[in-house]
Amino acid sequence: MSDIIRRDPRAEWIMRNRLHPLHEQYASQEEGGEVRGPSGLIRKFPHKVGFIGPNGIKRIDRLKGNATAPKGKRSAAAQEVQLPLHKVDSPDYYIMVVADMVGGRLTGHDKDILGLAHKLIAEQGGNGAVVAVCFGEVKEEHFDTAGVDRVLHIEGEAFEGYAPEARVQALAKVEAQYTVKHWLFPDSIHGGCDLASRLAARLGERPATQAWQVNAEQTVSRGASASLDITRQTPKILMLLEECADAIDETRHEATPMSLDDVSVAAATIKDKGLMAVDPNAIPMAEAEFILSAGNGIHNWDQFHEAAQVLGATEGASRVAVDDGFMPRSRQVGATGTWVTARVYVAVGISGAIQHMQGIGQVDKVVAINTDAGCDMVKRAALSVIGDSEEILAELMKLVAEHKQTSLSDQAEENSNAA
Amino acid sequence: MPHKVISLISVGRHPQSGRSRRADQDSRAVELGLKLAGTGLDVVHAGNSEEPVLRQYAGMGLPKVTVLEQAESADALPALSNYLKAEKADIVLTGVRSESGESSGMTPYLLAEQLGWPIVARVADIVEIKDGEAQVLLALPRGQRRQVTVKLPFIASIDNAAQAARQSAYGPGLRAKMAAQTGSTEEDNVRVNWSEAPAKARPKRLKVVKAKTAADRFKAATAKPQGGSGKVMKNESAQEKAQAIFDLLIEEKVIR
């Protein structure tokens, strides 16, 4: 908080306006309160009237403060607000939210479901706690503001990577150890739906899938390829669609760690052999993760294609590049082409027409390589590099080739050590 | 010895017209089954053998379709699990979710639980079967693929990323045999209590501004979504610029 004394225009305005409902309060603040005599008349204490001016002379303000700025400070910037802490001591029951944790962080979908869990507790009453169950690597730092009362992080080598069988065994043990009222899963392709179905089959519960309107008694879920609304009693296991409830944003939660006693699991019958190398250009552009996009600023097209191959990026193009015949129409990004959802989008020589910017609206990180520092793409980008694209792409390819070499030799070393 | 492959099929629903059709994922399961077992593929449906949609599946080149005859309200699970046990199936292929009924996608999981078999979900392809183990490609979000191996027998649910089904031929479809067997008569008792209605459009989430003061509301209404606080590199050498981009790509894990 700064110590600068600032004018409070609102207070001044109230002081000037004698009809304002708060005028009395402000005026009395200024003068030290009014005193009424025994007959009810307002008495003025003559020694308290006025104030000492800057050169030591007593001044009486007959304008009732209308001419001067009233005292009192107002902070310049809004302070960081500490949200109220929601505490749950020795809960009677738990609502388990098995989060997707894509990339180790809570997704928007997960947060909506945490919000729904709190809504269910509020409706059902009782002392319930919301538990976030997560597997594998966790990078999330804001469990407390997402509405997580307890965190159950199940760690172990058996749960890393693709391990639905081990995970469902652990969840069945959680069910045995704690009193669980509901299991909430995101109905997502990130594994939430798969895990929920496995758990439901294991526990013999009938789940509600694609649920989108849930309260303590009733659940509305989609059926028959989303053409039917099925209303039923709220079951124990729920798979929820996105935006099923609002995320928590007004409270802070404890996020105390919980533990599972027994985390031993039987040997898996499904063995994970890791991710496959996929041809980046075979991935539909709308869902590609990493796009290298070319525009009017590209002159060396062979180099651009080579760069895309070396980086392992899906190729994209602006309208100009497509109209000029350098790229096929199916590669066009923007209003008339594809609306992309990439995490990283490298725009080479694209100045950023508004139609193109619409197409990349959902992109997380944009990197611009351009000769014009004032173009719209540079304003949008998280990292902009001003210069000749040919030179920069050549350097970038060199770096990536070096990186691949070292990681390959590292692997070879590891293999030889293991042998 | 060739492996016994069974594809389970259901009646689909056209997303626009609502007419019954061969279900997308189920027909992909039949396609994958044809790739693995050729005409030795056994295609099974639990329901009505008079259903004209079954002819559309048969038109993919199937000599016969096995139908476990049962009423629409009956539970398909006991009949299917009995059939799979009796036939000693090695690989059972299904869709991820049916296009009619509850479409919970639980059938393959419940079958797997009853039979004690492993289930692999969202399969894009089965690459090869060797020494009692199958190499399976799973479809992940963003077009990625994961390779797993799984011991036979197993159940696989087929994702939309699998190879599209071949065209259905009308004549061969009509000529195919419908081998009807008796299915289960067990009613689905839970479902009786549900009420079903045509799907309502989901309300769009509104952007609610929970600002306490006028200044905050003003800021929320006028602020640009993008801060424009990106890093701009102008005068560095090309190498430094490339290094900065490279670091960002590594940090975002798009280069492995």
Cα distances from A108 to residues A135, A240, B102, in angstroms, run: 18, 13, 26
Residue range(s) defining the domain that contains residue A170: 85-258
In a domain, A271, yes or no: no
Q: What is the pLDDT of residue A76?
A: 46
Q: Report the alpha-carbon distance of residue A213 to residue A243 in Å, rounded.
A: 9
Answer yes or no: do A212 and A142 share one domain.
yes
Q: Are strands B42-47 and A42-43 parallel, antiparallel or unpaired?
A: unpaired
Same domain, A287 and A175: no
The CA distance from B92 to B109, in Å, is: 12
Task: Sort out which chain A residues have CB atoms less than 8 A from B224's CB and list them.
Answer: none
Write down the pLDDT at residue B120. 92
Which residues, in sequence order, are bridge partners of residue A52?
A58
- Nearest CA-CA distance, residue B96 and chain A, Å: 10
- B228: nearest CB among A311, A367, A379: A379
Residues A55, A91 within the same domain: no
What CATH number is given to the structural domain containing A133? 3.40.50.620
In a domain, A268, yes or no: no
CA dist A345 and A362 (Å) reads 10
Instruction: For residues A308 and A248, state if they share a domain.
Output: no
Domain identity same for A169 and A309: no
What is the residue-averaged pLDDT of chain B?
Answer: 86
Q: What length does chain A have?
A: 419
A93 and A235: one domain? yes
Dihedral angle, C-alpha A250, A254, A255, A260, nearest 10 ° = -140
Instruction: Verify that A105 and A252 share a domain, yes or no.
Output: yes
Question: Does B157 have pLDDT greater than 90?
Answer: yes
Whether A229 and B194 lie within 8 Å, measured CB to CB: no
- How do residues B110-148 score in pLDDT, each as one tens digit? 999 998 899 999 998 898 888 888 899 898 888 888 899
Residue partners of A72: CB distance under 8 A and separation at least 6: A8, A11
Neighbouring C-alpha atoms within 13 Å toward the C-beta of A268 = 23
φ, ψ dihedrals at A219, nearest 5°? -130, 135
Higher-confidence residue: B13 or B221? B13
Determine the pLDDT at residue B31.
92
In-domain check, residue A414? no
A156 and A204 assigned to the same domain: yes
Asked if the structure places residue A254 within a domain, the reply is yes
Nearest partner of B73 among B179, B193, B157, judged by Cα: B193
Q: Domain total for chain A?
A: 3
Same domain, A205 and A134: yes
Chain B segment 193-212 residues within 8 A of A by beta carbon are 193-200, 202, 205, 210
Burial of A16 (0-12, 13-18, 19+ CB in 10 A): middle
The answer to whether residues A225 and A342 belong to one domain is no
Asked if the model's pLDDT at residue B229 lies above 70, the reply is: no
Whether A304 maps to a domain, the answer reads: yes
Contact between A227 and B252 using a beta-carbon 8 Å cutoff:
no
Quote the CA–CA distance of A189 and A198 in Å, as a whole number: 14
Looking at residue A1, its pLDDT comes to: 52
**Hey, of B120, B190, B245, B250, which one would you mutate to test binding to chain A, going by the most A CBs within 10 A of its CB?**
B245
Q: CB distance A224–B118 less than 8 Å?
A: no
Q: What per-residue confidence (pLDDT) applies to A89? A: 84
B256: nearest CA partner in chain A? A404
- Is residue A188 assigned to a domain? yes
Cβ-defined contact of B194 to A382 (cutoff 8 Å) = no
Domain harbouring A371, CATH code: 3.40.50.1220
Same domain, yes or no: A352 and A253: no
Going along chain B from its start, the domains and CATH numbers come out as 5-193 (3.40.50.620)
Q: Residue B30: its pLDDT value, please? A: 93
Which stretches in chain A have pLDDT values below 70?
A: 1-3, 30-35, 45, 48, 64-80, 411-419
Percent of chain B whose predicted confidence (pLDDT) is above 90: 23
| Residue A19 sits in the same domain as residue A138 | no
Pairing of strands A270-275, B145-151: antiparallel
**pLDDT class of B8 with cuts at 50, 70, 90:** very high
pLDDT per residue over A289-347, tens digit each? 889 999 988 888 999 999 998 888 899 999 999 999 999 998 999 888 888 888 889 99
